[in-house]
Amino acid sequence: MKSSTLKIATPLFLLCLSGTTFAESFTLTSKDIAHGEFMSTSQEFKGFGCNGDNLSPQLAWQNAPKGTEAFALTVYDPDAPTGSGWWHWQVVNIPKSVSSLASGAGNADKNALPKGSVQITNDYGFKGFGGACPPEGHGAHRYQFTLYALSQKLELPENASGALAGYMINAYSLDSATIEALYKR
C-alpha cells in the first residue's frame, strides 16, 4: 500500500470505528419547562399551602435506543426536607409508540395518558402529577423530570411504592434523559 493511500485509508477506517459516537442521543424536551430555569405557577401544586394550577408540563422525546419496549417517567425533588426527597410523579409502561405527553396529561381525573400507562402513587398520596410545593423560604428546589427507555414493560403490584417503581425502572432502563427545572416560594 502506498503512503498516500494509507493516509486516506487510516482516517476513513477510524471514522467507521467511531460511527456510534455520531448516533443521535436520547433527548427529552418541553414547551413548558427548561433545564436550569424556574417553572411557572402552572406547575405548582394546589394544596399543602400552595395555590398553583398543578399542571404537568408538555414533554416530548426522540431517539429512543434500540430495544425500547416502553417508557417510564419520574419527577423527583432531591431537595425536599424529608431525608429521602419527594416523588411528584411516576408513570410506567408508556407505550413504545408514544413520543410525547400533552400539558396536563398527569391529571388522573382526565385520563389523558396513553392507554396502558400506569401512574404510581406520589408522595402527596394520589396517583397523578403533584406539582412543586417547596417550603416557603427554603430556596430553589430542583425538579428532575426523567424519562427512561425500558427494555420491557414493568409488572408492578396495584399499590406499588415509589421506591419499588424506581427499583424496577432502574433494573430495566436502557437509557434516560432529564430536564432539571427549578422552583421556589
pLDDT digits (tens, 9 = 90+) for 103-160: 999 998 898 999 999 999 999 999 999 999 999 999 999 999 999 999 999 999 999 9
Give the separation between CA 6 and CA 129, rounded to whole angstroms: 59
Q: Does the pLDDT at position 38 exceed 90? A: yes
Helices and strands: H and E segment counts in the chain: 2, 10
Q: Does the pLDDT at position 11 exceed 80? A: no
pTM of the model: 0.87
Q: What is the pLDDT of residue 23?
A: 66
What is the DSSP code (8-state) at residue 65?
P
Which three cell numbers mark 177? 434523559
- E strand or H helix at 52: none
Q: Does the pLDDT at position 13 exceed 50? A: no
Query: How sure is the predictor about 22, in pLDDT bands with cuts at 50, 70 and 90?
Result: low
pLDDT digits (tens, 9 = 90+) for 54-89: 999 999 999 999 999 999 999 999 999 999 999 999
Q: Check residue 11 and give left, alpha or beta (phi > 0: left; psi -120 to 50: alpha).
A: alpha
Which three cell numbers mark 59? 414533554
**Residue 80 · residue 141 · CB < 8 Å:** yes
User: Hey, what's the torsion of the CAs at 7, 10, 12, 16, to 10 degrees?
Assistant: 180
Q: Which domains does the chain have, with CATH numbers?
A: 24-183 (3.90.280.10)
